[in-house]
Structure 1
Amino acid sequence: MANMAKIEDKLAILPALPGCYLMKNKEGDIIYVGKAKKLKNRVRQYFVGAHDFKTTRLVSNIDDFEYIVCGSEKEALLLEINLIKKHTPPYNIMFMDDKSYPYLKLSKEKAPILRVVRNTKDKKAEYFGPFPDSSAAWETMKLLNQLYPLRKCKRLPKKECLYYHMGQCLAPCVKDIDESVYTQMALGIRKFLNGDVKEIVSNLYAEMQKASEEMQFEKAKEKLDLIHSIEHVTAKQQIDFKDRKDRDVFGYYVDKGYISIQGFFLRGGKMLERTLSITPLYEDAMDAFVSFILQYYEANPLPSEILIPKEYDITHLQEILNAKIIQPLRGDKLKLVEMVLVNAKNAHQQKFELVERKDHRKEEAMKQLSALLKKEIHRIELFDNSHISGAFNVSGMVVFVDGEPSKKDYRTYRLKEYVSDLDSMKEVVYRRYFRLLKERGRFPDLLIVDGGYLQIEAAKEILDALDVDITLCGLVKDDNHHTANLMDRNGNILPVERESSLFFLLTQMQDEVHRFAISFHRKLRGKAMTKSILDEVEGIGEVRKKEIWKQFKSLKRLKEASVEEIAEVIPLKVAEDLYQILHAEQN
């Protein structure tokens, strides 16, 4: 804390009111956001007395702070969530879900449509799930679309499509369908996804018997296949709760300065489990838990019930979420809560050493790098260029802050026509730092180029021309193109021990910048290939190109699609022409 005198002056005038505080480092970046019932007391605690290692590290990086007074503690909590979302401070606990579960989305249009999605932010729709994996979601959607003739086309065509002739759509594009018909379908879908399939199976058996009696054996076989499909799908959805409500269960465990947050999710009879978070703790554990859960439900729909241990203070959760939160005292629900707490503790004990080792290695690597370069290093930018025989000439830039990738700061560049690797390096360095000069942006402490002395010389030429003082290094590779050492701007080798934390960090950074540049390069190539193929099809203009690209994402997925799937986006005749061209091109 190089600015303690200014901090003490601010501490003296802090109000004893609820609000949020924002801790900043010497570059002015917000590194931590907190809330307080009384700002005066809470903020002062950071700068007096002894702390554990984690909090000491946070405090050592604080150079200044700001605060915002709120009308109540509840208002402060809501503001804290928004500030965390806006600034993504590195020391805050944030909901960073590493696995997005699929949902079924039933739109609330006049002619509704059923889709598999992973984003549940559209409030004008009804969601069912999450499903344990995408195959279960797609299998269920396919079955429901066979049972209920919902609209399949994303945009209504001008005439009946193939699904109408297959009996899987009512053709709302050309027919006036009574609203009650779709209302009944939606009701049937809800019952099915809640496990109530007796009536559906009974009706299918009756239809199968009738078709068999009328010697329509193919139709009877279709009904039998549907019955078997229903049994297969619902067999995965057995639970002990007879009411079959959607429930989420949360708990946490704290030890050695870390918190593990665990969640169970019961949907349609299937219980999903995952460890949501294990992260350093810089605040009261209950505050961290509440903040995390509120962030979770900003990205996921609320269930019928949320189960929380009886010891937790759920006042703010209840007020803000406006959800049914239960703290069970007995029975199966209490067993679920106890189970989630046991799992939080087990997950913590299993992963703690790994997480702590990773944190220690990251800190050690940054110390070694700072010692090697004889200056404090926090923010690092790396560039890597990619092209194929000069085509699709691009560059990717990744940013690491205190040893962690800062993906919100990553950038991609489409470069001019390829001349040489050195010209590409000069162009991207010029564009990056000329813009930072122009916008008075944040410069890195270190720029690393992926290459030896010639690449360093190219970057140095641009930095000198712009009069930008940035420490510059290159990643020197061995004969196998693996990271070996660092080279400074004068061509001197800065040896890095292969077993050191710094060596592993440099290897990680090299792999990440290469991955990022190559991914962008492949994306551009895929788009170009798709565009050239689509240009050959009569009836596909710019609007339909965008719709096709939005739906299928890549040429590979477009080639794997059937005519019927393509016809969901464009008219059937055009879809057939595209399918033929795609597979002629493939062969």
Structure 2
Amino acid sequence: MTAAAVPDPPSSPHPSPQALPSSDGAAEPATPRAADLAAQAAAVRDRVLAEVAALPSLPGVYRYFDAAGGVLYVGKARNLKRRVSSYFQKDHGGTRIGHMISRIARLETTVVRTEAEALLLENNLIKTLNPRFNILFRDDKSYPYLKIAAHPFPRIAYYRGTVDRKHTYFGPYPGAWAVKETILLLQKAFRLRTCEDTVYANRSRPCLLYQIRRCSGPCVGLITPADYARDVADAGAFLRGDADGVIAQLQTQMMAHAEVLEFERAAEVRNRIAALSRVLHQQSMEENSLSARDRDVDILAVRVQGGRACVNLAMVRGGRHLGDRAHFPAHVEDAAALSESDLAALEAQADAQAAAGDAAAALAPVRAPVEQQVLEAFIAQHYLGVAPPPSLVVSHAVDTGLLAALTEQTGVKINAQSAPREQRRIWLEMADKGAQIALARLLSEEGSQRERTRALVEALDLAVEDQAALRIECFDISHTAGEATQASCVVYEAHAMKSADYRRYNIDGITGGDDYAAMRQVLQRRYGKIAEARAAAQADGSLAADATGAQVPKALRLPDLVLVDGGRGQVSMAREVFEQLGLDLSLIVGVEKGEGRKVGLEELVFADGREKVYLGHDSAALMLVAQIRDEAHRFAITGMRAKRASVRTGGSKLEDIPGVGPKKRARLLQRFGGLRGVAAAGVDDLCTVEGISRDLADTIYRALH
């Protein structure tokens, strides 16, 4: 794939600049400054249209950017010139696509060899750039695995993260509970160990798991390596779906023990068979009734309602239904509207080409329903990072080109079935019901959040035109007797907490326990640079003194409300900071705890001199304030605890360092007087300890720093 260089505009005609709508309407500029801005906008439109006219008629991916460099939209095209020019064929007015086109300041394109390459590149860019007008699924890499670690006596463990070829992994599983249930089953049926290697290496007698028959005791030699390896192999075969073969082998072992009168061992094997049989019965399916193609299947059901969508992903591995997980994409309404308008433009273009006699180019596309668009976006984005199973069961038919592209990328032939029968139909009905329930719950929660936002805007008489754009930032301070002081900043916007915008601040240079000084420092650090940038923008005329909301670039925008967890003291400190920075004092609101610090009795304290306000314990506005305050408190506490633990342990534990066993650990602690002393020692000092080589000393030093 190569980036397409856009040559100088050709002399041939190109779409008229009037086709690109103006963001400020058609009114004549009233001031010289407005005239300059209008001239700049016209120059930008001319440049974009010239770039569009110079695009090649090749497959590729295009990207639209706004004036601030933000990505608006990423799309793929079989013919870049035809697809991109379709956006500028007419005035889209105040529609979503018109709003997007009015903000386009530049475009970039990448030419590829095939449409399949374009599809994969498009979704890679969507996941990387998070464009405003594409259907986006959160890049969730938190799917857990069950790991069988490489070791003479392997352990089974719950695992998240990047897989390592040295170990054996099974999954991914839809959630942590599915992995833990499977581990419990393997403990009962195969008695594999789950203890850490450091614990395993230092056992002198069996642990409680051995006593309750959940482990075979390899740590103290109560099972031979050959027998344990056979149990590991049986567990792997069961996880891969060969339950019949495992049970048949266990039955053979049981009969062999019985023939030589080893009845206790025969009873143990019988109990394993019983445990496996119970699990197979709980799954409500007979293993021998499942074909090979039903061993590993993903079931995908999509529901769209109220401008939101849900894709419910259920997983079947080794013939066992492992559960499901609901995914909720962003920008569904924007992307659907864009697709609809895009289709209208392409159909108009196709009609014109048909009238001109170009029959091949006049084949108008058929717009996929929103459910199919959402499902295809999920499949493309999700399976870019997760290996798909060979079979997908889907609630709506998907583009065969998408499946071909994923097949080409993964090397595994992927099939999708949208009208399944028998067991697959049951799985799909279960997934669809799960999607319906999850979406209904989401809409209910969002409706409640919208009501809370509206109540807060009305209670505080906030000048907010679009309540969905209301942005609230809340600050809290956390420490333990002055140790490891941290401040948190959490953000509420678009009727939801925006965890991607959360920030933590390490507070230094103050007296331990001085919350007022800590609040001063975090507010200065958060808003100092914004205040300087706003002042500079106002001085050069690029930002009006009374500009608000959408008129302000994102980098210069202040929140609509600043909450601080505290009463008059904290609010007074925030007021001093805002006065120094020249910011609006009416933004500051303190959340003062009520009598007895009881929830629901909080009062709001204002920095601009207004009287305190008690909203009432059942107020929707107070519920929102308490929700945001509690989230800031939680975020601050977790950060403080992590920092405190890092300070107290030197950033790591000696137990976690490979090559440092109990004897070397004891020598290190004895030589340097504790972990703090070890952390303060250099590599040369560590080498003086018996048994510590220079390589190991370097490893210890890097781990503790």
Q: Same fold (TM over 0.5)?
A: yes
State the one-letter code of the partner of 2:127. K
- 1:224 and 1:389 map into 2 onto residues whose CA distance is 58
2:157 to 112, 115, 121: 115
For 2:61, the equivalent position in structure 1 comes to 19
Residue number in structure 2 paired with 1:357: 447
Deviations 1:126-156 (A, max 9, x none): 4324276343122134346636xx8965479
Determine the C-alpha separation between the residues in 2 that align with 1:44 and 1:358: 40
Q: Hey, what's the Cα distance between the residues in 1 that align with 2:533 and 2:442?
A: 42
Which residue identity is paired with 2:404? Q
- For the pair 1:396 / 2:488, whether they are aligned, the reply is yes
Quote how far apart the aligned CAs of 1:287 are.
3.7
Output the amino acid matched with 1:282. Answer: D
Conserved in 1, the CA contact under 8 Å of 2:302 and 2:395?
A: no
1:513 aligns with 2:565: no
> Does the 8 Å CA contact 1:120/1:127 hold for their aligned counterparts?
no
Cα separation, 2, equivalents of 1:370 and 1:43? 42
Decide which of 65, 80, 84 is 1:40's aligned counterpart.
84
Secondary structure in 2 aligned to 1:312?
coil
Instruction: For 2:145 and 2:136, locate their aligned partners in 1 and report how far apart those are by CA, in whole Å.
Output: 23
> 2:569: which partner in 1?
454
Letter in 2 for 1:396: S
1:316 to 402, 406, 411: 402
Q: Is residue 11–residue 44 contact of structure 1 (8 Å, CA) maintained in 2?
A: no
- SS at structure 2 position matched to 1:395: strand
Rounded to whole Å, the distance in 2 between the matches of 1:46 and 1:362 is: 40
Partner residue of 2:392 out of 306, 331, 334: 306
Aligned to 1:491: 609
Partner of 1:201: 250
Find the aligned partners of 2:181 and 2:602 in 1 and give their Cα distance: 46
Match of 2:297 in 1: 247
Name the structure 1 match of 2:472.
Answer: 380
Structure-1 separation of matches of 2:91 and 2:219: 69
Give yes or no for the alignment of 1:412 onto 2:515: no
Contact 1:395 1:414 in 2 (8 A): yes
Number of aligned residue pairs: 532
For residue 569 of structure 2, what is the amino acid of its counterpart? L
Deviations 1:373-418 (A, max 9, x none): 5798654332101234434432211123344322122222333442
Cα distance in 1 between the residues matched to 2:557 and 2:459 = 14
Query: What do residues 257-284 of structure 1 show as CA deviations (whole Å, max 9, x unaligned)?
Result: 4333233321233322343336643224
Structure number with greater Rg is 2
- 1:403 and 1:330 map into 2 onto residues whose CA distance is 39
Alignment partners' CA distance in 2, 1:42 and 1:544: 63
Any conservation in 1 of the 2:604–2:612 contact (CA below 8 Å)?
A: yes
The match for 2:124 among 75, 82, 89 is 82
- Residue matched to 2:333: 281
- SS of 2:609's equivalent in the other structure is coil
1:410, 1:423 → 2: CA distance? 21
Aligned residue in 2 for 1:445: 558
Pick closer, same or farther for the CA change 1:28–1:310 going to 2, 3 Å: closer
Give the Cα separation in 2 of the matches to 1:2 and 1:483. Answer: 47
Aligned partners of 1:246 and 1:305 also within 8 Å: yes
Whole-Å separation in 1 of the counterparts to 2:237 and 2:46: 63
User: Is 1:258 the counterpart of 2:258 in the alignment?
Assistant: no
Tell me the equivalent position of 1:562.
none
2: distance between equivalents of 1:20 and 1:369?
A: 45
**Contact kept in structure 2, 1:474 and 1:488, CA below 8 Å:** yes
How far apart are residue 474 of structure 1 and its match? 2.0
DSSP 3-state at the match of 1:105: strand
Deviation per CA, 1:83-127: give whole Å up to 9, x if none: 343344566543348996643123568986532224464465543
Q: Measure how far apart 1:20 and its partner are.
A: 3.5
| Overall identity of the aligned pairs, in % | 23
Do 1:366 and 1:378's aligned partners in 2 also have CA atoms closer than 8 Å? no
Residues 1:450 and 1:312: Cα distance change in structure 2 (over 3 Å): same
Which stretches in structure 1 are left out of the alignment for 5+ residues? 533-540, 549-567, 579-587
Q: 2:303 touches 2:439 (CA, 8 Å); kept in 1?
A: no
* AA matched with 1:261: V
Preserved CA contact (<8 Å) 2:486 2:504: yes
Q: Measure, in 1, the Cα distance between the counterparts of 2:202 and 2:391.
A: 44
Distance 1:516 1:61 in 2: 39
Q: Work out the CA distance in 2 between the residues paired with 1:521 and 1:258.
A: 36
Q: Which residue of 2 aligns with 1:564?
A: none
Distance 2:578 2:376 in 1: 47
CA shift digits 1:434-478 (9 cap, x unpaired): 577899993551333222332133133334445667864123334
**Counterpart Cα distance in 1 of 2:599 and 2:110:** 55
In the TM superposition, what is the alpha-carbon distance from 1:201 to its structure 2 partner?
1.9
Cα distance in 1 for residues equivalent to 2:615 and 2:65: 36
Contact 2:605-2:612 within 8 A present in 1 as well: yes
Change over 3 Å in CA distance of 1:439–1:526 after alignment to 2: farther
- Is 1:106 the equivalent of 2:148? yes
Give the equivalent residue in structure 1 for 2:191: 146
Report how far residue 222 of structure 1 moved. Answer: 4.0
Query: 1:282 aligns to what SS in structure 2?
Result: helix
Distance 1:123 1:291, change over 3 A: farther
| Aligned-partner residue type, residue 489 of structure 1 | A
Aligned counterparts of 1:406 and 1:276: Cα–Cα separation in 2:
17
Distance 2:652 2:438 in 1: 52
Between stretches 400-409 and 496-505, larger displacement belongs to 496-505
Q: What's 1:128 paired with?
A: 170
Deviation track 1:157-198 (CA, whole Å, cap 9, x = no partner) reads 9899878998655999xx9x99xx96x776533321212322
Alpha-carbon distance, 1:504 to partner: 4.2
Following superposition, the deviation at residue 67 of structure 1 comes to 3.0
- Structure 2: 5+ residue stretches without partners: 1-21, 26-37, 337-369, 535-553, 670-705
Change over 3 Å in CA distance of 1:267–1:409 after alignment to 2: same
CA positional deviation for 1:22: 4.3
* Cα deviations by residue, 1:467-518 (Å, 9 ceiling, x for unpaired): 6678641233343364756544323248686677654433321121112112
Q: Which 10-residue stretch deviates more, 357-366 or 121-130?
A: 357-366
Alignment of 1:437-586 (within 5 A): 442=555, 445-446=558-559, 447-465=562-580, 472-477=587-592, 478-479=594-595, 480=598, 482=600, 486-493=604-611, 502-524=621-643, 531=649, 544-546=654-656
